[in-house]
A and B are shown apart, each in its own frame.
Chain A
Amino acid sequence: MTRFLAIAQCEMRILRRNRWLFMATLIMVLFALALTFAGSAPTGSLGVDMLTVSVASMTTLSVYLAPLLALMISFDAVAGEAERGSLGLLLSYPAGRGEVLLGKFAAHLAALSIAMVVGFGSAGAVAAWFGGAGSESLLALARLIATSVLLGAVFLTLGYLVSALSKSSTAAAGMSAGLWLIFVVLYDLGLLGAVVMDSGGWFTQTLFPWLMVANPADAFRVWNIAGSEGVALSSGMVGAARALPAWAAPLSLLIWPFLGFVAARGAFRRVEP
């Protein structure tokens, strides 16, 4: 049982040594602060505090950044070790492949959580200091951090999946970029196109919200928007979220990491080092 912890500890050390932890945290802090200051203009006109606006801006940011950071950290997990030639030796030890993957996941998720908490936390603190914060906006911030970590967890496991499926690290990097593009950009564009074609028919009314929430990136958006009236107001994305039961988005975002992990484990089992 302590085997996956041993692997997690070693992975965490590697993330600290290769400055990944520092860089990811720095990126999060810089982007979150920039958005907080740039997005503070509409505070007065909407009648919400600065932290609420800041959370809304950071939600938009996190949809892109959390998957990207997660994939950057995870794409190399299997393919990199296989390419370096260290995978065979690691797998000859009594730790099972599931334990190896779980150890890496625990470390990577911890690193991602640190980057999210520090990044969004510092931006939130700045916004609260300058523009005030209510209990609702603090809750929205906590929700943003938690859901960002979950979204990161989804893409960590998807990163392991492509890493186990690829023959080399370079191929894994390419596939990760493709995955990011599909989930974060192309999927929504496709849905948007379908909605336009359908022009308010059955598809738009019934199927579209479910299809949207099936994508973890959109589930993340919907959860944050539906969760907070203020965030919904300042992001202007209310319609779709209203058409769904409240549990739909959280369920999607909570199930995805498990699905991703099971798929990654299945692919990893077939890897012959």
Chain B
Amino acid sequence: MDKGNARVGSDPVLSIRGLNKFRGKVQVLHGVDLDLYAGERVALLGHNGAGKSTMIKAVLGLIKAEGGEISICGSKPGSAKARAATAFLPEAVSFHPAVTGREQLTLFARLAGVKADIVGLLERVGLGEALDRRIGTYSKGMRQRLGLAQVLLGKPKLALLDEPTSGLDPISRQDLYAIIDELAAQGTAVLIASHALTEVEARTDRIAIMRKGVLVANDSLQGLSAQAGLPTRVRIRASEDAAAIAARTGGRRINGASVEIEIQAADKMATLREIAAMGDAVADLEITPPRLEDLYRHYAKEGLQ
């Protein structure tokens, strides 16, 4: 199921095999398998409580898993080598309110053992003006950006971002994804746990979907569409007689002048040729492939019927 694509031969930065985790008697992760390769941006989607944060914490070595294996650049989670290779942005990141942004980032740089351009990093995330103010005076979005700045410390091999856009305004979200692209370009494997489907749709290379602790999907958007077999929607605007077009194509009329048909990926070209053959009867045509939202609904709810 896992698609290494063009990276066959190179070792994954993060490799998870058969990960199990229990909370009391409830199993919260069921045999999760996931690989992340250098420079790859992977979205991890799922409802609240699907196990996304639990999986991230297991990768960080913050919690012990009951079964399976995790390897970060060949090291065990929680080992000094694995921690040095990993950057983490927790969900709703928080810091002590009495220290300033500059002091907090300096502490993290010393803990990571890296010499970093603290001021440059804070300016990069838009906190240049606030670097000597106490974190207690920061807004939620500013704290989130400070959290992002610490991800950029050193050059992590693996970045785990848990809901990185929460609390950010639309412009800051754009900046965030620009920074994620930069990370990936320098060879960092980036895992983004998110609810914001429309954002990750365009900004990631691969999408993994978790449902109740099970990884139910793990492929590129195109791959997922093909597997799910969700229909592509074609909307035809008729020049004159919408009813005739509806009758010929087997679609349904959605208003006076338009007809909508749902076709499987395999039938797409045949249907399009058919429509083209109708000539002037068709005024306009709009094709909508399945969106991530449809795919997400398909994978995350499959089996619940």
Contact = CB atoms under 8 A, between A and B. Distances in A.
Residue among B86, B90, B103 with the highest chain A CB neighbour number at 10 A:
B90
A7 B110 CA distance: 9
A135 interface: no
Residue among A9, A85, A88 with the highest chain B CB neighbour number at 10 A:
A88
Interface in B25-76: 57, 60, 62-64
A88 B110 contact: no
Contact of B111 (A85, A94, A272): A94
Interface residues of B, number: 29
A242 interface: no
Contacts, number: 71
Given A94-B84, A273-B62, A3 B111 contact: yes
A85 B91 CA distance: 9
Interface string A76-113: 00000000111011111111100000000000000000
B111 A93 contact: yes
B83 interface: yes
Interface stretch (A13-21, A123-131, A139-147, A229-237): A13-21
B278 interface: no
Interface stretch (B92-100, B231-239, B297-305): B92-100
Given A14-B98, A14-B99, A94-B83, A89 B88 contact: yes
B22 interface: no
Interface string A254-273: 00000000000000000011
A13 B103 contact: yes
B266 interface: no
B112 A93 contact: yes
B108 A91 contact: no
Contact of B94 (A17, A85, A93): A85
Contact of A85 (B83, B93, B98, B110): B93
A196 interface: no
A93 B108 contact: yes
Interface of A: 2-3, 6-7, 9-10, 13-14, 17-18, 84-86, 88-96, 272-273
Nearest to B93: A89
B62 A92 contact: yes
A6 B107 contact: yes
Given A3-B110, A9-B107, A10-B96, 19 more contacts: A7-B111, A14-B96, A17-B99, A18-B98, A85-B93, A86-B93, A88-B57, A89-B89, A89-B90, A92-B62, A92-B83, A92-B86, A92-B88, A93-B108, A94-B80, A94-B113, A95-B111, A272-B57, A272-B64
Residue among B86, B103, B111, B150 with the highest chain A CB neighbour number at 10 A:
B111
A85 B162 CA distance: 13
Contacts of B94: 84-86
7 contacts: A3-B113, A6-B110, A17-B134, A84-B94, A89-B93, A91-B62, A272-B62
B213 interface: no
A111 B123 CA distance: 34
Contacts of A96: 80
Nearest to A272: B63
Nearest to A15: B98
Contacts of B99: 10, 13-14, 17
B95 A86 contact: yes
A161 B89 CA distance: 28
Contacts of B290: none
A179 B108 CA distance: 34
Contacts of B98: 13-14, 17-18
